[in-house]
A and B are shown apart, each in its own frame.
Chain A
Amino acid sequence: MNRIQTLETRDLSASVNNGGCGECQTSCQSACKTSCGVANQPCEKCVEE
Chain B
Amino acid sequence: MIHAYKLNGYNIILDVFSGSVHLVDEVAYDAITHYEDTPREELLAQLMDRYGDREDVTREDLEGCFEDIEALKAQGKLFTKDAYEGKAFDFKNRNPYIKALCLHVAHTCNLNCDYCFAAQGKFHGEDGLMSFDVGKRALDFLVEHSGTHRNLEVDFFGGEPLMNWEVCKELVAYARSIEKEKGKNFRFTLTTNGMLINDDVIEFANKEMHNVVLSLDGRKEVHDKKRCTITGQGSYDIILPKFKKLVEARGGKGYYMRGTFTHDNTDFTKDIFHMADLGFTELSMEPVVCSPEDPYALTQEDLPVLMEQYEILAKEMIKRKQEGRPFTFYHYILDLAHGPCIYKRISGCGSGTEYMAVTPWGDLYPCHQFVGDERYKLGDIWKGVTNQARQNEFKLCNAYARTQCRDCWAKLYCSGGCAANAYHATGNILGIYEYGCELFRKRIECAIMVQAAEAAQKAQEK
Contacts and interface: CB of A to CB of B under 8 A. Distances in A.
Interface in A1-16: 1-13, 15-16
A26 B354 contact: yes
Given A3-B28, A40-B332, 17 more contacts: A9-B18, A13-B18, A13-B80, A16-B84, A22-B97, A25-B187, A26-B153, A26-B355, A29-B100, A30-B211, A33-B286, A34-B287, A34-B418, A36-B416, A41-B340, A44-B151, A46-B339
B339 A7 contact: no
A4 B72 contact: yes
A39 B443 CA distance: 11
Contact of B451 (A7, A36, A41): A7
B345 A39 contact: yes
B335 A42 contact: yes
A34 B80 CA distance: 32
Given A3-B28, A7-B455, A34-B289, A26 B341 contact: no
B330 A40 contact: yes
B349 A11 contact: no
Interface string B118-157: 0000000000000000000000000000000111010100
Given A31-B213, A39-B334, A43-B341, A5 B459 contact: yes
Contacts of B80: 13
Nearest to B254: A30
Nearest to A33: B368
Contacts of B286: 32-35
B342 interface: yes
B333 A40 contact: yes
B104 interface: no
Nearest to B214: A31
30 contacts: A1-B68, A4-B65, A7-B21, A8-B336, A9-B18, A9-B21, A10-B341, A12-B19, A13-B76, A13-B83, A15-B342, A20-B95, A22-B354, A27-B350, A28-B102, A28-B418, A30-B330, A32-B284, A32-B286, A33-B191, A33-B213, A35-B436, A36-B349, A38-B414, A38-B415, A39-B413, A40-B330, A41-B340, A43-B339, A43-B340
A18 to B, nearest CB: 7
Interface residues of B, number: 92
Interface of A: 1-13, 15-16, 18-20, 22-47
A10 B421 contact: no
Nearest to B282: A31
A43 B334 CA distance: 11
Contacts of A43: 335, 338-341, 344
Contacts of A19: 340-344
A25 B333 CA distance: 14
Given A4-B24, A5-B456, A29-B153, A16 B339 contact: no
B442 to A, nearest CB: 13
Nearest to A11: B18
